[in-house]
């Protein structure tokens, strides 16, 4: 099941890469394993997946404890400041930095632990009231702030696009995030790099890939309904 789903997804990614002149090796498929049991996660692992995404700190820590050491854990959900200390040191990337207060906390706690932490800025690209994240217009004011952090390093942007019927409806949103990333690179902010664009989920990962995503977060498409 999981194995077949992964094969289909990889085939589609491969086709989309050919269409859009991209290299499959530059794109990482993150299997979003939230709520899913270890047995299913291990099926994906046996099919070669090493990047897994979780949205709750406790669940991520438990699974990290129980599953192989070479799994790369991604925190993709809203992170409360009081959970930061426990999480740090257990992820390769925190995709969901959605406030300066959170960024401050991550930097402070990382300094106490003597570690460096990579994170992405979550952007509320369609300005939905229901979503976390920065909006485009506030970035100019916010981006210079990251220069003061010594232990938190910004490595890119993440967005959760609107839930749409037809994935084509999100193409404009993915284009927007890509353009934003290019503008940020041009402006050369201290301690802000845009190595990663984390966008695209089960319903729209192909469109996201075509528009420049290099981290795809796919849950349902791999593991089935939650």
Ligand X SMILES: *Cc1c(COP(=O)(O)O)cnc(C)c1O
> Which residue ranges make up the site for ligand X (CB under 6 A)?
32, 34, 55, 76-77, 160, 201-202, 217-221
Question: 34 or 171, CB closer to ligand X?
Answer: 34
Structure tokens at 55: 């949205």
Least Å distance, CB 179 to ligand X, is: 21
Least Å distance, CB 163 to ligand X, is: 9
Question: 157 or 189, CB closer to ligand X?
Answer: 157
Least Å distance, CB 35 to ligand X, is: 9
- Asked if 11 and 221 count as a contact pair (C-beta separation under 8 A), the reply is no
Query: Nearest to ligand X by Cβ — which residue?
Result: 219
Classify residue 137 by its DSSP letter.
G
Question: 133 or 189, CB closer to ligand X?
Answer: 133
Question: 178 or 217, CB closer to ligand X?
Answer: 217
Question: 127 or 187, CB closer to ligand X?
Answer: 127
Q: Within 10 A of 175 (CB to CB), how many other CB atoms are there?
A: 15
Least Å distance, CB 221 to ligand X, is: 6
Least Å distance, CB 200 to ligand X, is: 8
Residue with tokens 């979003």: 32
Question: 50 or 78, CB closer to ligand X?
Answer: 78
**DSSP labels for 64-83?**
HHHS-TT-EEEE-S---GGG
Least Å distance, CB 213 to ligand X, is: 12
Report which of 130, 120, 70, 125 is spatially closest to residue 98, judged by C-alpha positions.
120
Query: How many Å apart are CA 224 and CA 102, to the nearest integer?
Result: 32
Report which of 204, 202, 194, 195 is spatially closest to residue 174, judged by C-alpha positions.
204
Q: Within 10 A of 110 (CB to CB), how many other CB atoms are there?
A: 22
Query: How many Å apart are CA 163 and CA 5, to the nearest integer?
Result: 21
């Amino acid at each position: 099941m999981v194995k077949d789903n992964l094969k289909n997804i990889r085939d589609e990614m491969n086709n989309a890469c050919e269409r859009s002149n991209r290299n499959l090796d530059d794109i990482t498929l993150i299997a979003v394993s939230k709520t899913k049991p270890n047995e299913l996660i291990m099926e994906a692992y046996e099919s070669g997946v090493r990047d897994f995404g979780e949205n709750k700190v406790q669940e991520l820590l438990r699974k990290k404890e129980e599953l192989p050491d070479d799994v790369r854990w991604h925190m993709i959900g809203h992170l409360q400041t009081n959970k930061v200390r426990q999480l740090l040191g257990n992820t390769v990337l925190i995709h969901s930095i959605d406030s300066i207060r959170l960024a401050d906390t991550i930097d402070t706690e990382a300094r106490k632990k003597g570690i460096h932490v990579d994170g992405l800025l979550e952007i509320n690209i369609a300005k939905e009231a229901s979503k976390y994240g920065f909006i485009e217009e506030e970035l100019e004011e916010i981006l210079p702030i990251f220069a003061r952090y010594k232990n938190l390093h910004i490595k890119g942007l993440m967005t959760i696009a609107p839930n749409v019927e037809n994935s084509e409806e999100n193409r404009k949103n993915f284009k927007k995030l890509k353009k934003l990333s290019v503008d940020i690179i041009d402006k050369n902010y201290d301690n802000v790099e845009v190595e990663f664009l984390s966008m695209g989920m089960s319903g729209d990962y192909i469109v996201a890939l075509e528009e420049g995503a290099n981290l795809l977060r796919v849950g349902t498409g791999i593991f089935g309904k939650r």
